[in-house]
Amino acid sequence: MKKYLTGRFSYRTDVGKVRLTNEDQAIALTNASGNVLLIVCDGMGGQKKGELASSLAITTIVSSFKKRKGFLNAYFAKSWVNKVIREANRNIYEQSQSNHNYHGMGTTVTLLLIIKDIAILANAGDSRCYFLKNHHDLVQMSEDQTYVAYLIRTGQITPEEALTHPKRHVLMNALGIYPSASVEIKTIPYLNEIVLLCSDGLYNNVSFEDIAAIVKGNDSIEQKVNELIAVANKNGGSDNIAVVLWEAQS
């Protein structure tokens, strides 16, 4: 087992070419124990509602993480993830209920907590987590919680049909919409893979093949993040874009 995880990370958000405000949030940070926390949130609600929701989620999670010195094992790490996401959900929901200007706001969240050779992945909504396996294959580790993803899983439409489905942007889950959160949390092995977290503003504007090619490339991690966003904007920039990239060092 690895004693300490080291690596590089870079993250950035961009308003895109169509939206007037940026409701996406992204962050990457480590603690004294070498644990790595990566988060992407894509706010929803418009009129700065989504911006507040995603900001509340990030602030809640990061504040809690900074107070922890580390995690004893995967069980305690998963328990913390479950607790802090529920806390974020509660903070967003209570804010939306206390101020009618924020009613109906919410946010996606995709969070990866890496502890040595295990990772805790939590997801609500359609922001994504990818692992670059064997330095070659980009694999989506999260599962989209959207209406079209449900239709694909139940065999009602094909992945190709989902690309142009009229309800392809309809979410089945998000933080802050209901008093309690329903979040998929799973523990997975971590074998020093490159990790990409992103909002739908990236993968809806950049093909999977182009994303994979950039992530696998030899550019610096900062250049890769900038290139992903640049290509998304070149292809229309139809939404806000959030990107987090982590590369472990052997």
CATH code of the domain in which 118 resides: 3.60.40.10
**pTM of this prediction exceeds 0.75:** yes
Judge whether residue 1 has pLDDT over 60.
Answer: no
Is 127 inside a domain boundary? yes
Is 88 inside a domain boundary? yes
The 3-state DSSP class for residue 8 equals strand
Higher pLDDT, 111 or 163: 111
Is 82 inside a domain boundary? yes
How far apart, in Å, are the Cα atoms of 72 and each of 1, 35, 80, 115, 244?
14, 11, 11, 9, 26
Is 227 inside a domain boundary? yes
Is 64 inside a domain boundary? yes
Is 19 inside a domain boundary? yes
Is 150 inside a domain boundary? no
DSSP 133: E
Judge whether residue 169 has pLDDT over 90.
Answer: no
The 3-state DSSP class for residue 91 equals helix
DSSP 175: B
DSSP 43: E
Domain that holds residue 59: 7-144+171-248
Residue 81 and residue 121: Cα distance in Å, rounded? 9
Average pLDDT value for residue range 120-131: 97
Judge whether residue 178 has pLDDT over 50.
Answer: yes
- pLDDT value, residue 166: 73
Residue 182 and residue 166: Cα distance in Å, rounded? 25
Is 102 inside a domain boundary? yes
Residue pointed to by tokens 């472990």: 248
DSSP 102: G
Please count the structural domains in the chain.
Answer: 1
- In which band, very low, low, confident or very high, does the pLDDT at 250 lie, cut at 50, 70 and 90? low
Residue 150 and residue 127: Cα distance in Å, rounded? 15
- pLDDT value, residue 4: 63
- In which band, very low, low, confident or very high, does the pLDDT at 3 lie, cut at 50, 70 and 90? low
Q: What is the mean pLDDT of the chain?
A: 92
